[in-house]
Structure 1
Amino acid sequence: NTVRNRNVLSTVRLGMEVLRHSGYTITREDLLVAATLLAQNLFTHGYALGKL
């Protein structure tokens, strides 16, 4: 399985690397905003990451 053809997986991987890095602080509010934007994009466009 490669992530080369699966942009969602590579986006999740990038997010995990950001969370692992100690220089970033992500609050509960940040996660709520991100989840809200994701849901809005899915509802409006049927996809979350834009045209790839």
Structure 2
Amino acid sequence: MLLLGLHGVRWDIIAEDGVGEFLQETAQQGAFRIMVMEPPTLSGPGWSSILTGY
């Protein structure tokens, strides 16, 4: 299993033609979820929550 987290990436821009082909193809081959945190965000606790569910 691979968990790919992209900090600060806007999927609406990546999804445009000619911008993020590799990421679009990778998302189509697996499970894709957009996760949004409420500001203010703190990277350490935020990534820990994504990994553990807490």
Which TM bucket (shorter chain)? under 0.3
Please report the TM-score for the alignment, with normalisation by the length of structure 1. 0.25
